[in-house]
Amino acid sequence: QVQLVESGGGLVQAGDSLRLSCAASGRTFSGYAMGWFRQAPGKEREFVAAIGWTFAYTYYANSVKGRFTISRDTAMSTVYLQMNSLKPEDTAVYYCAANRFGTVQATAPSIYDYWGQGTQVTVSS
């Protein structure tokens, strides 16, 4: 079955960087869009960034544009989220997800078919 396994979270200070990884397995993801979402305590899950598996088109939430970069390595079947200039408001559980429609501009969590378990990112001030 499909598995998305996130790693790379942790506790950092404001201004630091982290790189999250999402190892994808269980099927071919050709034509899919791979996304990162996050959820802070008491808040709804929100879209962060997405990338097309085949053509690598990208799309970002305004709140992370210019600070975060999404990429993928199809040979390694892994998606990355490079997070720079982290802020305390970036603190959340970060989830990797996959949507079979390949729509990188789809920001609603309901569009996504598969989800990982999440990795905690905590940014202290």
pLDDT tens digit at each of 125 positions of the chain? 999 999 999 999 999 999 999 999 999 999 999 999 999 999 999 999 999 999 989 999 999 999 999 999 999 999 999 999 999 999 999 999 999 999 999 999 999 999 999 999 999 99
- Spatial separation of the C-alpha atoms in residues 84 and 87, rounded to whole Å: 9
- In angstroms, the Cα distances linking 32 to 43, 74, 75, 111 are 27, 12, 15, 12
CA 124 to chain centre: 20
